[in-house]
Amino acid sequence: MDARLGDVIDDFCVKCRRLTNHSVVSLLNGAAAKVRCRTCYSDHDYRNEQAPPSKKDLKKAELFNAVLSGVAPPPAAPEEVTGDGVPKKAAKKPGKRAEA
């Protein structure tokens, strides 16, 4: 659906920090580019109703990636093979129900 100038759409307002009604102020290729919040009257880019990630979440992700980049992957252990050529992990062990 193509938006028109002045149409009312929902979007996340950075200033209000919630999902509110917005008026379309600017269009780009038939889609909303800039919107104006109808509660606080601030203009911002259309965010497709998506809240930006918090600074705390961004910092956690950055630290997590730093730790992962410093850790070497564990070496792959060779699989043990039973006498019939089946890997030991795949070989089934009889349980109590199988014995009865």
Task: Provide the residue ranges of all domains of the chain, joining segments of one domain with +.
Answer: 1-67
Buried b (16+ CB within 10 A) or exposed e, 47-56: beeeeeeeee
| 1-67: CATH number | 2.30.30
Q: CA angle, corner 53, sides to 52 and 54, nearest 5? A: 115
Which pTM was predicted?
A: 0.54
pLDDT score, position 8: 93
The amino acid at residue 19 is L
Give all strands of the β-sheet with 31-37 in edge-to-edge order.
8-13, 18-28, 31-37, 43-45
Residue 98 has pLDDT above 60, yes or no: no
CA distance 51 to 23: 18
Mean pLDDT calculated for residue range 20-27: 93
Using CA atoms, how far residue 49 sits from 17, 20, 46, in Å, is: 11, 9, 8
Strand partners, 85: none
Q: Please tell me the predicted confidence (pLDDT) of residue 68.
A: 86
Strand-strand pairing, 8-13 and 43-45: unpaired
